[in-house]
Amino acid sequence: MKTPGGMLLTGIELDRSSPVPLYRQLYLQVRKQILSGRLPGGTRLPSTRTLCKELGLSRITLLNAFDQLTAEGFLASRTGAGSYVGDEWEGRDAAADKPRKPPRLSSMSQAVHSLRSDHFSGMSYSAWAPDCPTSFLPSHPAYDAFPMLVWKRMMNRHLRKPGKTELGYGELKGLLRLREAIVEYVADARGIECSVDQVVITSGAQQAFNLLGMLLLNPGDSVWMEDPGHIAARIAFQALGCQLVPLRIDDQGLDVMQGLRECPEARLAFTTPSRQHPLGTTMSYARRQELIDWAGRSQGWIIEDDCDSEFRYVGRPLPALYAMDQWDKVIYVGTFSKVLYPSLRLGYVILPEDLVEPFCAIRAVMDRSPSTLHQATTADFMLDGHFLGHIRRMRNLYQARQACLVEALQRHLGGFLSVTPVEAGLHLMGWLPEKMDDDDLARGLADHQVYTYALRDYCIRHYLPPGLLLGFAATPETQAEQRVQEFVQALRAIGMRV
């Protein structure tokens, strides 16, 4: 509506306590009203004298705002007639009055959004009470025990005299010194013999899964997946339009014979043989050989996610699947997220030689090398001997933390939750009574500031009893009793008889 005296700017609200200058506030709010269509093109604004009186502004403040709006084409001055909204804004509808349409997304984006929203719905970081959360989330290391002083010293080496290595784009495969350190480490710890050229640094394991999926899979290809199994990898392959073939986990690991019966022509198998995620089973030698033989005969591929292999509390770990592969069909994925800290966002892929160049070609299109500063710091941390010492300390710490938490859980919740110590990893399984909905339980616990994941989230087919994944690495021994009591109180609050 146009009025002879000018449109009343009743929507303008100025905050005089704000650090944003008043002229800037006025400029932003008038601009917003023009862009939204509330002030159409050709609308006459009140005189500066009227606006100064109504808004309680000095004339210089108001003129500063109007000058900026005029310079940007939002307002136009007409000699003897005042200020008007520019004619190019004529005919714009008020955006606030129009119903919002959902954004147009690609089919892949829609699939990812839908798949991701179905998982981890019982946990919300935004709801955490930062002073005292009760977290049993798996895959969270002991942040309180990270050797920050040593890490800062390593990083300061490079910050004192930064150069191209630290501040540049970095090598496509990743920093050479870090790849050399990884080659040395996996040879000693995992029995893997590879060259430095076969190692590519990634932004964590998740990026590795996505890049490998793009490298090896077409829409419609079949993928063997452990069931229950790794959610992030599953979603990566589903988003590419692949067909998942869920294979059960028994006491020897992935059921290869089931895969051969149901889908022998699968293009890829994804597995966590060192410590099955989430159940914790270690794949037997016989089962490993069956899987490798299938890949060799069928021209399939195997992605080995060496999940939590650093933290084994009983016996020595078996060599990596990659170390047993005579067909060059296994791709090894490792990460520093759990052994160091997740926000470091560093992982690595060890590729068969024939896949190195194709993988790097996709990598060059999708992303560059992660932060070279963090790569350099991690390389120093490994080559100076701190990495292995940190693993040994964390192994002892986690074993002690697990023992304390298991004891408290068995004492307070022994009749409700069945828990036993695990031989490796950062979480244990808490098995629930039959017919209980573990997903609903996890949601209810989150409403009372107790965080965990339901086993159901990890399952494609639901053939196992209900359960909760209970992380122990981030719970200090002195807090185990208190956290379990908070767990009990939350269970009672949602109506559980414990």
Q: d(Cα 138, Cα 116) in Å, to the nearest integer? A: 18
Q: Which helix (H) or strand (E) holds 219?
A: none
Report the C-alpha dihedral over residues 186, 191, 197, 198, rounded to 10 degrees.
-100
**pLDDT at residue 129 is higher than 70:** no
Q: Are residues 300 and 397 in the same domain?
A: no
Last residue of a domain, one of 332, 352, 384: 384
288-317 per-position pLDDT tens digit = 999 999 999 999 999 999 988 899 998 887
CATH number at residue 482: 3.90.1150.10
pLDDT at 481 over 90: yes
Amino acid at site 403: A
DSSP element (H, E) containing 331: strand 330-335
The amino acid at residue 451 is Y
Q: Is residue 142 part of a domain?
A: no
pLDDT at 94: 56
CATH for 359: 3.40.640.10
Q: Model confidence at 328, in pLDDT bands (50, 70, 90)?
A: very high
What integer pLDDT is reported at residue 344 of this predicted model? 95
What pLDDT, on the 0 to 100 scale, is given for residue 123? 44
Instruction: Determine the straight-line distance between the first and last CA of the chain, rounded to whole angstroms.
Output: 66
Phi, psi of 222 (to 5 degrees): -95, 140
Rounded Cα distance, 11 and 30, in Å? 9
3-state secondary structure of 206: helix
How confident is the prediction for the chain on average, in pLDDT? 90
Residue 311's H or E segment, with its range, is none
| Range of weakest confidence among 120-129, 213-222, 436-445 | 120-129
pLDDT of residue 367: 86
Top-confidence residue, 59 or 77: 59
Is 396 found in the same domain as 324? no
pLDDT of residue 116: 55
Residues 34 and 153 in one domain: no
Render pLDDT for 240-249 as a digit per residue (tens, 0 to 9): 999 999 999 9
Query: Looking at the structure, do residues 380 and 393 belong to the same domain, yes or no?
Result: no
pLDDT of residue 215: 97
**What is the C-alpha separation between 74 and 48, in angstroms, rounded?**
16
Residues 300 and 427 in one domain: no
Is there a domain that residue 5 lies in?
Answer: no
Count of all residues that appear for the chain in the document: 498
More confident residue, 259 or 5: 259
Which residue range is the domain that position 411 belongs to? 389-494
pLDDT of 121 above 60: no
Question: Looking at the domain assignment, is residue 11 inside a domain?
Answer: no
pTM of the model: 0.83
What CATH number has the domain bearing residue 34? Answer: 1.10.10.10
The residue among 435 and 5 whose pLDDT is bigger is 435
- Look at 65-69, 125-129, 233-237, 349-353 and tell me which has the smallest mean pLDDT: 125-129
**Residue 442 placed within a domain:** yes
Are 241 and 330 part of one and the same domain? yes
Residues 52 and 114 in one domain: no
Claim to verify: residue 315 and residue 379 sit in the same structural domain: yes
125 within a domain of the structure (yes/no): no
Question: 405 lies in a domain?
Answer: yes
Residue 167 lies in a domain: yes
Q: Answer yes or no: do 245 and 377 share one domain.
A: yes
pLDDT of 139 = 85
Domain identity same for 303 and 451 = no
Residue 170 covered by a domain: yes
Among candidate residues 328, 356, 384, the one where a domain is terminated: 384
For residue 365, the tally of other CB atoms under 10 A from its CB is 9
Number of domains in the chain: 3
- Please state, for a pLDDT cut of 70, what percent of the chain lies above it: 92
Tokens standing for residue 245: 């073939």
Whether residues 435 and 315 share a domain: the answer is no
Q: Is the model more confident about 96 or about 299?
A: 299
pLDDT tens sequence across 16-56: 999 999 999 999 999 988 888 888 888 888 888 888 988 88
Same domain as 256, residue 395: no
Q: What is the pLDDT of residue 7?
A: 56
